[in-house]
């Protein structure tokens, strides 16, 4: 039996096998969702989330929480709020004997395993209870690229000196790649991409320049 949520598995574990198999498609599980005591600027956060999840169901190419949460889940707010799994309070799993267990009845070892160790070796996760975090109504995002000809070496070096010392509200993710050079025709060059999320408006971000 293969367990598939969003189907985004890079290795294809959720949908490839050398022997005959069937797939349990968990994306259809996204049917119920409850938010306790949460109100945001007068409208119900619950309605917003349910609408979002309905969209996710329609777009089956979307990363699913089944794999994302059970595998750990990093994101652009992780410096401030940790990994996705750091915000999971409880879970429900059905084990090989058909028992439905929560965190208390499965025990901390199994709970640990399905919040970072990958879910499918252990059972089918039916539900996660998560802690939501507060995000300011205005955030700042930007994406800057620099090639070798644009001082990439020094900039990457500087990034490595400051990235972990910036306030936790600032997340700067750097990826390195290779692109065609715009200066030397027919040649390639290195490129660094800096993708940034700041939990606040640009006025608050600029002093950190
Ligand atoms: C375009 C893209 C962008 C990505 N970006 C990020 C990112 O920013 N941060 C990050 O952390 N990861 C990222 N990932 C990785 C992604 O989080 C993992 O591949 C994740 O495992 C996908 O989950 P899924 O439910 O979509 O995949 P699936 O293929 O459905 O499942 C992945 C694994 O989890 C198991 N599984 C799924 N549902 C359950 C369940 N209910 N119970 C038990 N086991 C289950 C499957 O059997 C399989 O082993 C990205 C992946 C892609 C393709
Ligand atoms: C799902 O896809 C539709 C149409 O392609 C799009 O309008 C919508 O924003 C998508 N929803 C999500 C959550 O990605
Ligand atoms: C390249 O980067 C270094 C370090 O950030 C800086 O001192 C130098 O002025 C930069 N040079 C150019 C040409 O931008
Ligand atoms: C890069 O250059 C090669 C030829 O040198 C060309 O085939 C390719 O399409 C170019 N890629 C991009 C993204 O422009």
List the CATH number of the domain containing 95.
Answer: 3.30.465.10
Q: How far apart are CA 73 and CA 50, in angstroms?
A: 21
Same domain for 112 and 80? Answer: yes
Q: Looking at the structure, tell me whether residues 71 and 155 fall in a common domain.
A: no
Distance (angstroms) between ligand 1 centre and the Cα of 201 equals: 31
Question: Is any ligand 1 atom within 6 A of the Cβ of residue 14?
Answer: yes
Which residue owns the Cα nearest ligand 2 atom 7? 55
SS3 content of the chain, % helix, strand, coil (to 5): 30, 25, 45
Question: What is the predicted pLDDT for the residue at 42?
Answer: 44
CA distance linking residue 109 with residue 111, whole number of Å: 5
Q: Among the bound ligands, name the one nearest to the CA of residue 177.
A: 4
Task: Give, as one character, the DSSP assignment of residue 69.
Answer: H
Question: Do residues 87 and 167 both lie within one domain?
Answer: no
Domain-ending residue, one of 131, 157, 186: 131
What residue's CA is closest to ligand 4, atom 12? Answer: 180
Residues 15 and 88 both lie in one domain: yes
The DSSP bridge partners found for residue 180 are: 188
Q: Of the residues 131, 166, 188, which one is the last residue of a structural domain?
A: 131
The pLDDT, as a whole number, for residue 159 is 96
**Most informative mutation of 154, 159, 162 for ligand 3 (most atoms within 8 A of CB):** 154
Radius of gyration of the chain (CA): 21
Distance of alpha carbon 146 from alpha carbon 158, whole angstroms: 13
Q: Tell if the pTM clears 0.85, that is, is over it.
A: no
pLDDT of residue 189: 96
CA distance linking residue 204 with residue 166, whole number of Å = 13
Q: Which ligand is nearest to the CA of 54?
A: 2
Residue that terminates a domain, selected from 114, 131, 148? 131
Nearest ligand for residue 55 CA: 2
Q: What is the 58 CA–ligand 1 centroid distance (Å)? A: 17
At 5 the pLDDT is 86
For residues 117 and 199, membership in a common domain is answered with no
Shortest CA distance to 82 belongs to which of 173, 142, 5, 171? 171
Number of domains the chain is built from: 2
Q: Do 24 and 103 belong together in one domain? A: yes
Distance 4 CA to ligand 2 centre (A): 20
Buried b (16+ CB within 10 A) or exposed e, 81-103: bebbbebbeebbbeeeeeeebeb
Q: How far is residue 86's CA from residue 209's CA, in Å, rounded to a whole number?
A: 30
User: How many angstroms from the chain centroid is the CA of residue 74?
Assistant: 5
- Give me the domain span that covers residue 87: 2-131
| Residue-by-residue pLDDT tens, the chain, 209 positions | 899 888 888 888 888 889 999 998 887 765 555 555 444 444 455 555 666 666 655 554 577 788 888 888 888 999 999 999 999 999 999 999 999 999 999 999 999 999 988 777 899 998 888 888 888 999 999 999 999 999 999 999 999 999 999 999 999 999 999 999 988 889 999 999 999 999 999 999 998 87
pLDDT of residue 58: 55
Q: Are 79 and 13 part of one and the same domain?
A: yes
Residue 63 CA to residue 59 CA, distance in Å, equals: 9
Cβ–ligand 1 distance for 75 under 6 Å, the answer: yes
How confident is the model at residue 41, as a pLDDT? 46
């Amino acid at each position: 039996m293969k367990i598939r949520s969003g189907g985004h598995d890079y290795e294809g574990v959720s949908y490839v096998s050398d022997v005959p198999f069937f797939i349990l498609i968990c994306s259809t599980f996204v049917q119920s969702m409850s938010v306790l005591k949460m109100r945001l600027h007068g409208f119900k956060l619950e309605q917003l989330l349910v609408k979002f999840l309905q969209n996710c169901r329609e777009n089956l190419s979307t990363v699913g929480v089944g794999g994302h949460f059970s595998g750990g889940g990093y994101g652009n707010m992780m410096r401030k709020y940790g990994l996705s799994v750091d915000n999971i309070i409880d879970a429900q799993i059905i084990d090989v004997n058909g028992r439905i267990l929560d965190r208390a009845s499965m025990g901390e070892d199994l709970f640990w395993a399905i919040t970072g160790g990958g879910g499918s070796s252990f059972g089918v996760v039916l539900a996660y209870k998560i802690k939501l975090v507060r995000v300011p109504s205005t955030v700042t995002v930007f994406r800057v690229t620099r090639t070798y000809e644009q001082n990439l070496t020094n900039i990457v070096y500087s990034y490595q000196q400051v990235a972990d010392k910036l306030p936790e509200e600032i997340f700067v993710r750097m990826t390195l790649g290779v692109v065609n050079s715009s200066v030397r025709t027919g040649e390639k060059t290195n490129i660094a991409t800096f993708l940034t999320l700041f939990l606040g408006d640009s006025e608050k971000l600029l002093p950190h320049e």
